């Protein structure tokens, strides 16, 4: 199944209703765009899930050495300033920002855009839709974003205030000034 | 796409939210079961749609002549006494029952179970799920129901308080004591 988008513009699903929908239907993945439309996504498939685990694993390993922030896997959900609810495949929030989020919000979907986001495209994902999502993260405050296109072995790097950079078949990616000292090894992710 | 069922038990979608969902997403068909779960169905397909139009047309012509009630096509939706929201492929309500429904409710989804319902299975419909739906109509007050299985040229007849009768390759169906004098010709429906 490809994504199914339901126009909820006049339905006005509350945040509580959206949260209940998500936790009651864990076999599906949900997002909401800035118009409030509901996007229903099938699970990614096992291979993409494995690669995503590898990616999150490296990010966790790096984070454990410095404790500069908090890492999230693909089940984290964030309500962006534009109202969209998004779940990046991996993401990271600096510790001081995370600590400002009220405890009860942390257990649900926090009102924050992560500083760092990754979208790891599964074979059925649309490149255009994923690019728009990356741009949305930047517009909502993300500092660094990686769009990893496994099928084409290509990575698009999104940086605040800069043109998108495209890397063909890189072996590593640098966390730059956002994830200090982090280097993602891509060998087991392609 | 097969049906997609979302568990909305704790989401508590209001009737107005459900109505807005339906009218904003006319490319999809929706129902709710008695637990409040949302069932999202793809369009039936053109061949099934054509057969359904033929069926509704025969019922409509009979009703025009008799003026005993109101005929609904597959876009009608009814909130049954058990709380489910269902859209039979064709249905009929006696005039006196329809007139008791408040006008503002008639424009949306009325709180009523039609006296007569038809489910015309499309090739992707599940027989078991459709049989359960027919039983639910009976349990909620329908007097006569036809489950038309085109693929097997078989009709199941559901009557209040009686065993289900199965007819193999019938050429006509009688409206019995519910649709007085109605005879459905199946030649163009198979």
ipTM over 0.90: no
Residues from chain B that touch A13, judged by Cβ atoms under 8 A, are 11, 13, 17
Please, which pLDDT band fits residue B183 given cuts at 50, 70 and 90? very high
Q: B133-141, long-range: CB within 8 Å, 24+ apart, which pairs?
A: B133/B86, B134/B158, B134/B164, B136/B34, B136/B80, B136/B82, B136/B84, B136/B86, B137/B80, B137/B86, B137/B88, B137/B113, B139/B82, B140/B80, B140/B81, B140/B82, B140/B84, B140/B113, B141/B80, B141/B81, B141/B113, B141/B115
Say which CATH topology domain A45-185 has: tt1808, chain A (3.90.1570)
Residues (pLDDT < 70) of chain A are 1-2
Band of pLDDT at residue B116, cut at 50, 70 and 90: very high
In chain A, which residues have their Cβ closer than 8 Å to the Cβ of B20?
8, 10-12
What is the reported pLDDT for B1? 44
Is B99 part of the contact surface with chain A (CB cutoff 8 Å)? no
pTM for the structure as a whole: 0.83
Q: Where are the domains of chain A?
A: 45-185
CA–CA separation, B18 and B29 (whole Å): 12
Closest chain A residue to the Cα of B5, Cα to Cα:
A25
Q: Could you tell me if A6 lies within 8 Å of chain B, comparing CB atoms?
A: yes
- The whole-angstrom separation of Cα A59 and Cα A70 is 10
Q: What confidence score (pLDDT) does residue A44 get? A: 80
| Residue B185: partners with Cβ closer than 8 Å, 6 or more residues away | B58, B171, B172
Q: Can you give the pLDDT at residue A1?
A: 44
């Amino acid at each position: 199944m490809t994504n199914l988008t339901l126009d909820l513009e006049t339905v006005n699903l509350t945040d509580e209703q959206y949260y209940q929908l998500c936790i009651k239907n864990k076999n599906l993945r949900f997002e909401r765009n800035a118009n409030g439309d509901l996007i229903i996504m099938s699970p990614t498939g096992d291979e993409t899930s494995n690669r995503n685990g590898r990616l999150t694993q490296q990010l966790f390993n790096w984070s454990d050495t410095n404790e500069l922030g908090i890492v999230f896997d693909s089940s984290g959900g964030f309500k962006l300033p534009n109202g969209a609810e998004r779940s990046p495949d991996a993401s990271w929030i600096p510790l001081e920002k995370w600590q400002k989020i009220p405890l009860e919000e942390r257990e649900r979907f926090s009102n924050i855009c992560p500083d760092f986001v990754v979208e790891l495209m599964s074979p059925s994902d649309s490149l255009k839709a994923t690019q728009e999502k990356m741009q949305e993260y930047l517009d909502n405050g993300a500092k660094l974003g990686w769009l990893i296109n496994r099928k084409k072995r290509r990575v698009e790097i999104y940086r605040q205030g800069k043109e998108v950079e495209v890397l063909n078949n890189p072996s590593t990616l640098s966390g730059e000034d956002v994830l200090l000292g982090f280097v993602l090894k891509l060998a087991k992710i392609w």
